């Protein structure tokens, strides 16, 4: 069976799409999750907040046992796994952490299973990382 893709977006606090996520649907989705994530680098000039100019941010593969593989940057794992990633400022660190958490959760939703004991994300408290917005 040829894999198909499900497209979803992550949004910032102003409801601008910040990441486009292509989740690969394949025969082994009950034991693995594969996705390509594109950072949205521009939006339409009107009030529609339409995403423009997506750039490859990362490719990932997450398995049932929580083993995860990430390839960062413009090149992908098949062409040149350079792993380079430019993060500019604390807001982008937060977005990166939120993205990784989202991908981990989605992986287990797609696989239709729970992480192994001790591998649950409940142990990570993102609100502590995000800090106060005062």
Comparing 28 with 21, the larger pLDDT belongs to 21
DSSP 8-state symbol, 114: P
Q: Which residues contact 128 (CB under 8 A, 6 or more apart)?
A: none
pLDDT at position 9 over 80: yes
What distance in Å separates the CA atoms of residue 54 and residue 18, rounded to the nearest whole number? Answer: 9
**Own/partner pairs, 34-37, CB within 8 angstroms, 24+ separation:** 34/3, 34/59, 34/60, 34/61, 34/62, 35/59, 35/60, 35/103, 35/106, 36/60, 36/76, 37/99, 37/103
Give the Cα separation of 59 and 67 in Å (integer): 14
Segment 109-128 shows an average pLDDT of 71
Number of domains in the chain: 1
What is the mean pLDDT of the segment spanning 6-30?
88
Which residue from 10, 3, 6, 8 is spatially nearest to 92, judged by alpha carbons?
10
Q: What does pTM read for this prediction?
A: 0.70
| pLDDT on residue 131 | 37
Mean pLDDT for all residues in the chain:
79
Q: What is the pLDDT of residues 38-95, one digit of tens each?
A: 999 899 888 888 998 898 889 888 888 888 888 887 655 566 556 766 677 788 888 8
Of 9, 5, 30, residue with least CA distance to 111: 30
């Amino acid at each position: 069976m040829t894999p198909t893709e499900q497209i979803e977006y992550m949004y910032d606090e102003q409801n601008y799409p910040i990441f486009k996520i292509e989740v690969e649907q394949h025969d082994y989705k009950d034991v693995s999750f594969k996705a390509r994530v594109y950072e949205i680098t521009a939006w339409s000039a009107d009030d529609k907040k339409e995403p423009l100019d997506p750039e490859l941010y990362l490719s990932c593969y997450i398995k049932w046992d929580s083993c995860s593989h990430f390839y960062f940057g413009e090149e992908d794992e098949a062409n040149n796994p350079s792993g380079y990633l430019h993060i500019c400022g604390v807001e982008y660190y937060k977005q990166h952490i939120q993205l990784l958490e989202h991908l981990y959760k989605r992986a287990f939703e797609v696989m239709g299973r729970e992480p192994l004991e001790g591998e649950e994300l409940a142990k990570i408290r993102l609100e502590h990382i995000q800090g106060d917005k005062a």
